[in-house]
Structure 1
Amino acid sequence: MTKKAERTTAYIIETVAPIFNKFGYVGTSMSDLTEATGLTKGAIYGNFENKEALALSAFEYNRNLLMDVIDEKLEIEGMALDKLFSLLHFYKQYDVFTLPLGGCPILNVGVDAQNNNNLLAAAVKETIKEIEGKMALVLENGVNQNEIHLPVPPLQFAKQLFTMIQGAVALSTMTRDRKYLINTLTYLEHLVQKEVKK
């Protein structure tokens, strides 16, 4: 692939990622994509095999933006608790972070793709597992370093924590009320402090 073709492909993905995320796989029309990119249908499909391949690339683009921030928050200097609080603090402002993305890619694509796109649904499921795994690793290291104690195994705790985070994301998205996010994350900070801190 030439440098120009690579730039065009990257431009298309970056431009259409928020559109797919906001309107879904079925809800995004070809005219939405040509209008946003300023390219013809032929030019878009010259870079992607089909709409499904483009939607998957768009999800992966948004997913990578999210994963980069999660990695950054979990890799800060300090103890396991510092890393957890860093992540929880990020999720308190999650709606602001996801605004340019067209909303939460995990929630939007996960729900939208459930019954109409197996590849996208599988990609979301893998992303969820990866985030839970990263959180579990921080927790496991914290337990091994004798920094924290957990009432359940690290992965189970990570799954429960992420379930509550995503629940807050879902309700704040559906109600357009960020208090669901802020109040839940404040509660989770309190819970972690109370249940996990040694």
Structure 2
Amino acid sequence: MSKAEATKAHIIHQAALLFNQRGYAGSSIADIMQATGLKKGGIYNHFKSKDEIALQAFDYAASLVQKIVWDAVKQKTDAISRLKALMQVHLNYIDNPPLAGGCPIMNTAIESDDAYPILRDRAQQAMESWRNLIIRIVQKGIKKQEIKPDIDAEIVASFLISAIEGAIMMSKLYQDAIHLKRVISSLSDYIESLAYG
């Protein structure tokens, strides 16, 4: 990696941490300068705008989460175990988050809503990737007779994601992991109820 590539990677990493904790609107270029130890010119040598930094920082943050999820899922061989592994990944966030500040997809989705459509679209793409993973796991499980044939994969994806993200929000708000633990325990029972036979 060249010095320029290392500097750009450093900016992206520090901006991802900053945006995930303070939000896009709550982080200025001065904050990025302070976090990176670079002057404004050093940052703008690599990025055209704060928006460009935000998009690349979000992609970086989302890729950290996706790697953790994929690593957990690929170790399992059946659909039920894979779905449970997805839930367990989020429980592990409590002690070992990929980035300080919680789930970057949820944080970005909430903040960007109508104010930052480019970021909202990027968060939606990341969420779509997560939804599609769950849908594929369920559909493959149905084909392999691991999951009941009348299960709607789209509903399972919506339910699991909504429950997990809501539990993360409550745990973060109350600074108490019990909310996430309760939901994951209930989701584990729900996932078992999908099993064929």
TM-score, with structure 2 as normaliser: 0.93
1:119 maps to what in 2?
Answer: 118
C-alpha contact 2:61 2:99 (8 A) present in aligned 1: no
The whole-number CA distance in structure 1 between the counterparts of 2:21 and 2:133 is: 27
What are the within-5 Å matches in structure 2 for residues 23-102 of structure 1?
A: 23-98=22-97, 100-102=99-101
Q: Return 50-59 or 94-103, whichever deviates more.
A: 94-103
2:23 alignment partner, SS class? helix
Percent identity between the two aligned chains: 27
CA-CA distance at 1:175 after TM superposition = 1.7
CA-CA distance at 1:183 after TM superposition = 0.6
2:169 is equivalent to residue 170 of structure 1 = yes
CA-CA distance at 1:100 after TM superposition = 3.4
2:190 is equivalent to residue 191 of structure 1 = yes
The whole-number CA distance in structure 1 between the counterparts of 2:29 and 2:54 is: 12
Matched residue type, 2:47:
F
CA-CA distance at 1:150 after TM superposition = 5.5
The whole-number CA distance in structure 2 between the counterparts of 1:118 and 1:97 is: 30
C-alpha spacing 1:97/1:123, structure 2 compared with 1 (3 Å): farther
CA-CA distance at 1:59 after TM superposition = 0.7
The whole-number CA distance in structure 1 between the counterparts of 2:92 and 2:130 is: 17
The whole-number CA distance in structure 2 between the counterparts of 1:170 and 1:197 is: 32
CA-CA distance at 1:86 after TM superposition = 1.3
2:176 alignment partner, SS class? coil
2:104 maps to what in 1?
Answer: 105
Aligned-residue CA RMSD (Å): 1.6
1:101 alignment partner, SS class? coil
- Could you list the per-position Cα deviations for residues 137-169 of structure 1 after superposition, in whole angstroms to 9, with x for gaps in the alignment? 011111100111155321221121111111111
- What residue ranges of structure 2 are gaps of 5+ in the alignment? none
The whole-number CA distance in structure 1 between the counterparts of 2:124 and 2:100 is: 19
CA-CA distance at 1:62 after TM superposition = 0.5
- Could you list the per-position Cα deviations for residues 42-95 of structure 1 after superposition, in whole angstroms to 9, with x for gaps in the alignment? 110110010000011111111000011111122123211111111111122223
The whole-number CA distance in structure 2 between the counterparts of 1:150 and 1:180 is: 31
What are the within-5 Å matches in structure 2 for residues 15-30 of structure 1?
A: 15-30=14-29
The whole-number CA distance in structure 1 between the counterparts of 2:20 and 2:91 is: 21
C-alpha contact 1:150 1:157 (8 A) present in aligned 2: no
- What residue ranges of structure 1 are gaps of 5+ in the alignment? none
The whole-number CA distance in structure 1 between the counterparts of 2:100 and 2:124 is: 19
CA-CA distance at 1:26 after TM superposition = 1.0
1:133 maps to what in 2?
Answer: 132
CA-CA distance at 1:15 after TM superposition = 1.5
C-alpha spacing 1:81/1:152, structure 2 compared with 1 (3 Å): closer
More helix by share: 1
The whole-number CA distance in structure 2 between the counterparts of 1:197 and 1:91 is: 25
- Could you list the per-position Cα deviations for residues 111-132 of structure 1 after superposition, in whole angstroms to 9, with x for gaps in the alignment? 1111321111111111111101
- Could you list the per-position Cα deviations for residues 8-54 of structure 1 after superposition, in whole angstroms to 9, with x for gaps in the alignment? 10011112211011111111012211111110011101100100000
C-alpha contact 2:142 2:148 (8 A) present in aligned 1: yes
TM-score, with structure 1 as normaliser: 0.93
